[in-house]
Amino acid sequence: MSSIAGKAPSLKLPPQIETARELLLAELGRLLTIETTLAQRVLPKLLGELTDDELTKVVKEHLEQTRSHVGNVQKAFDALGEAPAGKPAYGLDGLRIEHEATAPHVVPGARPAVQVAAAMGTEHYEINAYDAAIRLAEALDEKDVVKVLRRNLEQDVEALEKLGKQAERLAKAAVEDRTYAP
């Protein structure tokens, strides 16, 4: 690649993903990274920050599911005859950075609302990734892959619904508590 501004690179590399199967493998790699990162770092850290008992219960429950999601994504790789390999999940990094930049600037009483919003954002990101991977697997007629990914997707949709109920409860509490309302 040329380091001269305005000059086109002299060497063009071929695309790294050339088939739908390779794209599915890349999506599975991203899902593996997402689930592993959530299970090992993000959700345990969030649990350490939570002060709301009901939200803590929901997040703990989903952490257990997330640990099984890692294994399910690995099963999807196995169904394709491929070794599990993670890929970058830049969206998850962005969500984590956004939460870490926002939470310290919110009064402690309102932090549960910020925390549930961050958890919901993560679930939306996961749901999107599963939806894309499932559609590719269906198009490739990879029924075993679809089966294990759908299991994870269903649990993530359920987790999002539970988090949504917590968000409603916490939003009402925030409105009722005038200590940090305008």
Walk me through the domains of the chain, giving residue ranges and CATH numbers.
20-176 (1.20.1260.10)
Distance of CA 68 to the CA centre of its chain: 14
> In the prediction, which pLDDT does 97 show?
93
Higher pLDDT, 25 or 2: 25
Residue 168: how many other CB atoms lie within 10 Å? 11
What pLDDT sits at residue 149?
98
The interaxial angle of helices 20-37 and 143-176, nearest 10 deg, is 40
Mean pLDDT lowest among 7-11, 96-100, 146-150, 169-173: 7-11
Residue 66 has pLDDT above 60, yes or no: yes
